[in-house]
């Protein structure tokens, strides 16, 4: 049975930045995975009467990239990768939400490096709970997907012989999001 709605109260739910992570993983030298995250995330979910009238939007500050290596973070912010001086934000706006229960597919447009492309994220809904510190209702989600760096004009690389390159084209996306319910009244 399809309910065609999200199991949340209508209104705009906002991401709690202290409990939200936008992460990524790339393969380095074809050998190891390098993980990173963005600390500057602003996101919201506007719950409508049904999935068609619900919308997700997010803005990520590219200058907040953190991989555990300051030199690598600076390189990622350079024109070789994010060009964060000219394009300080990555944005996402949903174009559709499909699914029911605990599993959804989030379709949307991701803009990175001045280029907008469609992306698809597999979303898992973990339910809601009251946060005891402020008695607000929270909802939890995780999402995964991937993108091609080249599709966003991010083509920096070095051939290492054979079919190996320094940094994979494929970027795996991993999000954990905690949303705060709209205030009553």
Q: How far apart are CA 158 and CA 172, in angstroms?
A: 20
Q: How far apart are CA 118 and CA 93, in angstroms?
A: 10
Q: Report the predicted TM-score, pTM, of the whole model to 2 decimal places.
A: 0.90
Q: How far apart are CA 13 and CA 94, in angstroms?
A: 15
Alpha helix segments (H runs only) across the chain: 70-77
- Residue 1 pLDDT: 34
In whole angstroms, how far apart are CA 81 and each of 27, 57, 129, 146, 154? 15, 23, 39, 17, 5
- pLDDT (tens digit per residue) in 49-99: 888 899 999 999 999 999 999 999 999 999 989 999 999 999 999 999 999
- pLDDT (tens digit per residue) in 101-153: 899 999 999 999 999 999 999 999 998 998 888 888 999 999 999 999 999 98
Query: Has residue 158 got a pLDDT over 80?
Result: no
């Amino acid at each position: 049975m399809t309910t065609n709605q999200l199991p949340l109260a209508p209104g705009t739910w906002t991401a709690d930045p202290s409990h939200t992570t936008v992460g990524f993983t790339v393969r380095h030298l074809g050998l190891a995975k390098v993980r990173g995250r963005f600390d500057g995330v602003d996101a919201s979910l506007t719950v409508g009467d049904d999935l068609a009238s619900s919308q997700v939007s997010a803005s990520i500050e590219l200058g907040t990239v953190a991989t555990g290596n300051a030199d690598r973070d600076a390189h990622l912010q350079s024109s070789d990768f994010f060009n964060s001086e000219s394009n300080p934000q990555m944005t996402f706006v949903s174009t559709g939400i499909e699914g029911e229960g605990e599993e959804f597919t989030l379709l949307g447009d991701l803009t990175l490096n001045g280029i907008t492309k469609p992306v698809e994220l597999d979303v898992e809904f973990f339910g809601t709970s009251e946060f005891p510190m402020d008695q607000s209702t929270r909802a939890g989600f995780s999402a995964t997907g991937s993108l091609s760096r080249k599709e966003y004009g991010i083509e920096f690389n070095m051939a290492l012989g054979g079919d190996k390159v320094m940094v994979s084209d494929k970027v795996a996306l991993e999000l954990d999001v905690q949303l705060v319910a709209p205030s009553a009244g």
